[in-house]
A and B are shown apart, each in its own frame.
Chain A
Amino acid sequence: MTLTSVFNRLAMAVLTLLGVGLVVFVLLRVVPGDPVAMMISPSATPADIAALRAHYGLDLPLAEQFFLWLRDLLHLDFGTSISLRRGVLQLIGERLPATLELTFAALVFGILAGGIVAVAGVLLRRTPLEAVMDFVNGLFLAVPDFVWALALVLLVGVLWPIFPLSGRLDPALSTDFYTPFYLLESLARFNWTDVGDVLAHLVMPTLALGLPLAAVIARTLKEALGEAMVQDYVLLARLKGMSETRLVLQEALRNAVGPTLTLTGVQFTFMIGGTVIVERIFAYPGIGNMAIDAVINRDLPLIQGIVLVFGALFIVINIAVDLIADRLNPRQLHG
């Protein structure tokens, strides 16, 4: 991908976000549910309600509200949360790093687990073990993230309590973090107690989010590896005396990874959607968990802000996937 096309993609991204913003903005105001009704006391007079509406600008025409919101966005002002009475951008800034650490952990887990299963499956092809692995993988493909979350709560919470089931950090650890990136910061400080604790808290939600991804990667990559393994160049490499493992890793993998990469990008965006429920189940203080509260409270500015951030994440992931795919394909690199 050339610099111009990256620039074009970014320009398209702005348009896409504008569309996302418009749709969310209008939908939130068309569907039933009044943010003001959620926050007033039963004793409030109609005058109180009208004053509150005017305070949040909810009495203005829809188009005017939208343009005011856009104008503020251009100044990086995402508005103020109605329920939490704090800046939306500030709230997102506090919560997004938790979600990024979680989704990144789940992505790494999914790629590693799926990759290992795929390579093992190809090495074991035409053995009885392959059929067993394919069957188990099929089961894993069918189980969505929130079912994993519930199953893990049951397994680890009730039967075998080895990992913490809620939160992000043991409250007993009174470390003061300067950034909301707990994992990165404790790593950078070489504070291994904190690293261990943050990781332990990540295990359960990471498994819930990462297992479906691992299953998809395992299936797709194994298929592609199997196809690559019967190519002439692999046969020739085998005749050079390479071991089967090396044939898979050195000859087949790079040629087979393309479709998996694209699919991983798609799945990764689904996974970010999945954080909403999974973070809720594990009381993980991320942006997805906050999204549910925002929706329950009809917190319009916060919902809009979160949706925009999700949209931006989707776009960034897609551009990143395309850039990586280009890197891996020598045809495009040197064409």
Chain B
Amino acid sequence: MTPPLVSIEALSASSVREGGTPVLRDVSLTLERGEVRGLVGESGAGKSTIAKALLGILPETIRITGGWLRFEGRDLLTMPSGELRAMRGRDITLIPQDPQTALNPARTIEAQLTDGLRMKLGLRGTALHARAIELLEEVQIREPDRVLRSYPHQLSGGMRQRILIAAAFAPGPKLVVADEPTTALDVTVQKEILRLMRRMQERHGTAVIFVTHDLGVVAKVCDSVTLLYAGKVIEAGTTADVIERPQHAYTKALIAAGPRYDRPGQGLEPVPEAIFRQLRAELAGTAAKGAP
């Protein structure tokens, strides 16, 4: 039986700086090929830490204290750096959060879009150029020739995000990590970008880890969702299950906190303080259990 694409088992990590505060507590999740999983939580919930661990770019201030992080059955945490580098950009790619800062201002779009194709697939010359044009057409950019010759500052934020999406899918990766890819965009552009990501994902059959703090976004694009609070998995399941039948009070409160366009009188309720007290009590419980 083939192992799942990604399997995270009892992963724990702590912050070196803040006196060993845990940032991940016993996190487990699996991702099958072609699955889109949302990682949801507020800031500090650990969703970015998981994404960074997958990409192999954990800052030195965070130390993994236990567990496994497997990609196609192989542990990423112990993989030699050479193999990791070969895999990066080919099997696992990133769609970054802010398209304003994620493109190099001094390089043309074509150069940046085709990095992966050149380095990982060895494409050159006219084949490379033709593929670059195809990629831009795939993300519905008009006048691809002009855009390829452009520098980032000549393009809008939505356009840049399309280019970053095209670049992420270009080498045919097995996993795309999307780090809040719509947070920095206008609301009107957000929707188009989400639709585009879903379409690209379906066309290429790529698995996606979608990091976000927005359950509404999850409902639109994710097959499944893992909800985190303070580094602990609070709830996990298919998107439909979690949103229709939330088990945990925190999930219910989060859903209630989302805006309800269908019923303007409701929604936007802050998460009640009692629920945070309950969450803290649960965290204290696991910590006590974990202690020898």
Task: Report A's interface with B, CB cutoff 8 A.
Answer: 231-243, 250-251, 254-255, 328-331, 334-335
Contacts and interface: CB of A to CB of B under 8 A. Distances in A.
Contact of B105 (A236, A237, A241, A255): A255
Contacts of B188: none
Given A330-B106, A331-B151, A239 B88 contact: yes
Contacts of B89: 239-242
Interface string B91-106: 0011010100111111
A240 B106 contact: no
A334 B150 CA distance: 9
A240 B96 contact: no
B281 interface: no
B16 to A, nearest CB: 14
Given A235-B57, A241-B90, A242-B115, A331 B98 contact: no
Interface string B116-127: 100110000000
B170 to A, nearest CB: 10
B93 A239 contact: yes
Contacts of A330: 105-106, 151, 153
21 contacts: A231-B101, A232-B96, A232-B102, A233-B102, A233-B104, A233-B105, A234-B104, A236-B94, A236-B164, A237-B104, A239-B55, A240-B115, A240-B116, A240-B119, A242-B115, A255-B104, A255-B105, A329-B106, A331-B105, A331-B151, A334-B151
A55 to B, nearest CB: 61
Nearest to A258: B106
Nearest to B104: A233
Contacts of B105: 233, 255, 330-331
B85 interface: yes
B154 interface: yes
B189 interface: no
A239 B102 CA distance: 12
A233 B103 contact: yes
The 3 tightest CB contacts between A and B, nearest first, are A241-B89, A240-B89, A254-B106
Nearest to A328: B106
A238 B96 contact: no
A243 B85 CA distance: 8
A251 to B, nearest CB: 6
A325 to B, nearest CB: 13
B130 interface: no
Given A330-B153, A331-B153, A239 B104 contact: no
Interface residues of B, number: 29
A241 B104 contact: no
Given A239-B89, A241-B85, 5 more contacts: A232-B98, A236-B102, A237-B104, A251-B104, A255-B105
Contact of B120 (A233, A235, A241, A254): A241
B268 interface: no
B93 to A, nearest CB: 7
A251 B104 CA distance: 7
A154 to B, nearest CB: 44
Given A232-B96, A232-B98, A334-B151, A239 B57 contact: yes
Contacts of A242: 89, 115, 119
B241 to A, nearest CB: 32
Interface string B146-167: 0000110110000000001000
A242 B90 CA distance: 11
Contacts of B120: 240-241
Contact of A334 (B102, B104, B154): B154
Interface in B106-142: 106-107, 112, 115-116, 119-120
B287 interface: no
A329 B106 CA distance: 7
B120 to A, nearest CB: 7
B86 interface: yes
A239 B90 contact: no
B62 to A, nearest CB: 16
B57 A238 contact: yes
Interface string B20-38: 0000000000000000000
Contact of B106 (A235, A243, A255, A335): A255
Which of A239, A242, A334, A335 has the most chain B CB within a 10 Å cutoff? A239
A232 B104 CA distance: 9
A238 to B, nearest CB: 7
B185 to A, nearest CB: 15
B88 A241 contact: yes
Contacts of A234: 104
Nearest to A330: B151
Nearest to A233: B104
Contacts of A331: 105, 151, 153
A38 to B, nearest CB: 57
Contacts of A250: 107
